[in-house]
Amino acid sequence: MLNQSAELDRLFHALADPARRAIVERLSRGPARVSELARPLPMSLSAAMQHLGVLEAAGLVRSEKIGRVRTCAIELKALRLAELWIAALRTEWELRLDRLCEYLKSLEEGDHDGSGD
Amino acid sequence: MLNQSAELDRLFHALADPARRAIVERLSRGPARVSELARPLPMSLSAAMQHLGVLEAAGLVRSEKIGRVRTCAIELKALRLAELWIAALRTEWELRLDRLCEYLKSLEEGDHDGSGD
């Protein structure tokens, strides 16, 4: 996990803003020009471009300039790291619950043994 | 999604820090006292408590003070919102890929019809 820590920092930081999540949601429906992405956002084009910069730095968006037009696309595989981190937590948690259940069962069995003596 | 936006902001912001993720990882293995959580972190107890405050505000951690000891536990269900948001993105993306595949197939079928005439 440790060497992916900076990546997770950038990824979660990028997702911690409603405008950036709106951009990612829009791009999940297909590539778009910067101007299209900025239009529905309640901010200037320059502010929207700053958000795009944060998303690109986190690896969530890639962009390409052809002529005078910059087009953006989502990089869904960047989200895989966040999904894996959350899944690892769940696994750890479920293992703990399993161990707790086994322990409680063993207590119950112990009780039965005791009452049978 | 909109009314959950502030919750997602707090959730992703809370996860965007390695110390806070380390606390969550530790708590996925079971409840712990504040002092136990702070010990492995490269910071003062007061700094660690600030991180715990961010995690509590995001609903990821709950704590209880009994006597002079505060014990923390993970609230894994808070992560569900992040998982749902990511899953919705994937669904949207896969629908797009399906539509693209169908379009490409229809082009191919069109080609075959053309060559058969």
pLDDT at B1: 46
Chain B CB within 8 Å of residue A28 CB: yes
pLDDT at A8: 96
Taking Cα atoms as reference points, which of B20, B90, B7 lies closest to residue B50? B20
The pLDDT tens digits for A35-76 are 999 999 999 999 999 999 999 999 999 999 999 999 999 998
Segment among B20-29, B43-52, B97-106 with least mean pLDDT:
B97-106
Q: Report the residue from A29, A79, A93 with minimal CB separation from B86.
A: A79
Chain A CB within 8 Å of residue B21 CB: yes
Chain B CB within 8 Å of residue A96 CB: yes
B8·A18 Cβ contact <8 A = yes
Q: Interface pTM (ipTM) of the complex? A: 0.84
Chain B CB within 8 Å of residue A98 CB: no
pLDDT at A35: 95
Could you give the CA distance from residue A104 to residue A106 in angstroms, rounded to a whole number?
A: 5
Closest chain A CA to residue B3: A18
pLDDT at A4: 84
Could you give the CA distance from residue B19 to residue B37 in angstroms, rounded to a whole number?
A: 10
Note every long-range contact of B40-46, with CB atoms under 8 Å and residues 24 or more positions apart, other chains counting: B43/B19
